[in-house]
Structure 1
Amino acid sequence: MIAINDRIGSARFMTKVNANHLDAFQAPDSGLLGTFVNVQPVFFYPPSRPLGHHHFDLQPINGRRPGRSTAPGALPQVDVLYAYQELSVGMFQAAIDLGAQGIVLAGLGAGFWTSKGTEEIRRIVRETDIPVIVSRRPEGGFVGPCEAGIGGGFLNPQKARIQLQLALEAKMDNDAIRALFEHSGVH
C-alpha cells in the first residue's frame, strides 16, 4: 500500500506518471483504494486480494534474504528492453550473453514489437529457457497472453521486472511464471 498526497493506493498499481508535478503518483488502471479525511484513512472498498496477486516467501533463500544482501545482484538479473523503430535485434542476444536470466520487453501499445524484433523474441522463447515477459510502454493498459512471450498483464515494465526476479529467485519454472503473470491458477 502507498499513502501519498492524501491518497491511498495499491503498490501493485500505483506508478509515477509525472517527473515534476507534486501530484505525480496515480493508479491509472485500478483507481485509488482510499483517501485521508482529517488525518484519518477512509477506504473506498473492503480489503481484497488483487487479481493475479502472488505471495512470495521472502525468508532467507540459500542463507541470504532476497534484496537484503550486501553483494551486488541479490536477485537474478532481469533486463528490460524497450521497443523503438529500427531497433537492433542483437540487443536480445546481448542481454542473454551478459547474463540475463529473464527479459522484460516494453513494447509499443499493448506490447507490440517490430516484425524483426518479434521474430527474434520467438527464437529466444523457442531455443532457450529464459522467460520473456511482454509489457507495454504506455502508462496504463493490459498485455494479455501472446505467442512471443508471457503477457505482463497490468504490470508496467519496472514492476514486471521485480515480479520476474522474485519468481526466478523462488525457482519457478516457465509454466509457473506464465501462470503467475497470466493469472491462471494463482488465486
Structure 2
Amino acid sequence: MPDVVVFGLGGTIAMTGDAGVAPALSAEQLVAAVPGLAATGIGVEVVDFRRKPGASLSFADLAALSDAVAARFADGADGVVVTQGTDTIEETAYLLDLHHAGPQPLVVTGAMRNPTLAGADGPANVLAAIATAASPAARDLGCLVVLADEVHAARRVRKTHSTSGSTFQSPNGGPLGVVVEGEPRLLNRLPGRTAVPVDPRLPKRVGLVTVTFGDDGALLAAADRLDGLVVAAFGVGHVPEDLVPPLADLAARIPVVLASRTGAGSTLRSTYGFPGSERDLLDRGLIGAGFLDPLKARVLLHALLAAGADRDAVAAAFAVAGSETGQGAWPWPG
C-alpha cells in the first residue's frame, strides 16, 4: 500500500479554544481523529511542521516546507498532504506547485469549520486528501487542493466565500475531479506543468495594488521600495489614464504585471487602444498575467524573482503560466 506523509501547518482545521479558537491540535491529533483512515490501508506518517493560522504563514515557511516535501519524496514517499488554514490556501498551494517538479501527488487541504463546531469538515477533508495523495491517478498533476470532495488544480483554485464549505472553486476550467466513495476520480487534466527552482535569495518584496474607481495612483508611490509589482486592473486590463505615466515609469525599473481584478477570465493583449487600455500598458512595458488572477500572479512573480529571473525571463514565464495552454518557452527545463 502507498505511504503518505502529512505535514501539519495549523489553521482552522487544528484550532480549539473557548474564548476564540487558535491553532492547538498537533498534526498527529488531526490524523488520529479521521474516521475510516485505518480501513484504507494507506500508511501515514505525520510531521508537525508549524502551528500557525493561515494568515501568518510566510514565504520563508513555504520555502522550508518545499524543501521538506522534496526530501520526503526523495526518501520514497508516494504522496504528501499539507493541512493548513484556508485563508491563504489559494496562494500557498500555488507556490508549492511552482516548487514541485516531481510526479508524486502533493495535496493541500484545510477546513472551514473548526473542530469545536457541529459538522466540522476537517476529518472528511483530510481523508479525501490522503486518498488523493495515495492515488496513481493524481500523479503528474503538480499540487492539488482537495476540499468538500472536489479536486482542484493549485494554479486555478480560489477561495470565493468567507464561510461556505464549498468556498473553493476553479473559475477558469472547473475542478479536475471529485472524490467518490473514498476514491479520487480525475475527469480532466492540466495541459502542462510549470516549476521554478527554490532559491535561497528570499525574501523578495512584491506588491499588489488593486485599481479602483476614481483611483489617483497614490498607492503606487510605495512601489519604489519593491522588487516587483502586480496591478489588479479593471476588466481585461484597464486603468485610469492618470495611472499610465507612473506605471510606465515603474515598468522601466521593475517587472510590473497586469492582471484582472474580476476573478475569472484572461487579460487581453490587443483589443482596446485608449490610454490606460491593455494594449497601451503592454506597449509601455507591463507584462500580461493572462488567466492568472492577481494573487497567483504575485506568487509567481515572487518565485521568479527569488530564483534570479530577469525581466525577459519573467515575461516568458507569464506567457506560459497565464496562457492555460502549456505551450511556450518556460525559463527552466522541464
Shared fold per TM-score greater than 0.5:
yes
Identity, % of aligned positions:
25
Instruction: Give matches, 1:74-93, under 5 Å.
Output: 74-93=202-221
Long gaps (5+) in structure 1: 63-73
| Structure with the higher fraction of residues in helix conformation | 2
Per-residue Cα deviation, 1:112-131 (whole angstroms, up to 9, x for no partner): 100011232122223x2x00
Report the residue type matching 2:178 in the other structure: T
Q: Give the C-alpha shift of residue 9 in structure 1.
A: 0.7
* CA-atom RMSD in angstroms: 1.8
Per-residue Cα deviation, 1:145-183 (whole angstroms, up to 9, x for no partner): 422410011111111111000000011010110011112
Report the residue type matching 2:214 in the other structure: E
Query: What SS is found at the alignment partner of 1:178?
Result: helix
Instruction: Give matches, 1:1-187, under 5 Å.
Output: 1-45=144-188, 47-50=189-192, 53-58=193-198, 61=200, 74-96=202-224, 99-126=225-252, 128=253, 130-145=254-269, 146-148=282-284, 149-183=286-320, 184-186=328-330
TM-score scaled by length of structure 2: 0.48
Long gaps (5+) in structure 2: 1-143, 270-281, 321-327
Between stretches 15-24 and 139-148, larger displacement belongs to 139-148
Q: Give the C-alpha shift of residue 49 in structure 1.
A: 4.3
The answer to whether the 8 Å contact 1:144/1:152 transfers is: no
Q: Give the C-alpha shift of residue 94 in structure 1.
A: 2.1
Per-residue Cα deviation, 1:49-89 (whole angstroms, up to 9, x for no partner): 43xx421122x525xxxxxxxxxxx4310010010122222
Q: 2 CA distance for matches of 1:180 and 1:114?
A: 27
The answer to whether the 8 Å contact 2:207/2:226 transfers is: yes
Change (3 A) 1:157 1:175: same
Structure with higher Rg: it is 2
The answer to whether the 8 Å contact 1:75/1:166 transfers is: no
Q: Give the C-alpha shift of residue 93 in structure 1.
A: 2.8
Report the residue type matching 2:210 in the other structure: Y
Q: 2 CA distance for matches of 1:38 and 1:116?
A: 56
Count of equivalent residues? 168
Q: 2 CA distance for matches of 1:14 and 1:154?
A: 12
The answer to whether the 8 Å contact 1:150/1:181 transfers is: yes
Query: What SS is found at the alignment partner of 1:106?
Result: strand
TM-score scaled by length of structure 1: 0.83
Q: 2 CA distance for matches of 1:75 and 1:5?
A: 34
Q: 1 CA distance for matches of 2:221 and 2:176?
A: 41
Which has the bigger relative contact order, CA under 8 A and spacing at least 6?
1
The answer to whether the 8 Å contact 1:80/1:157 transfers is: yes
* Corresponding position of 1:66: none
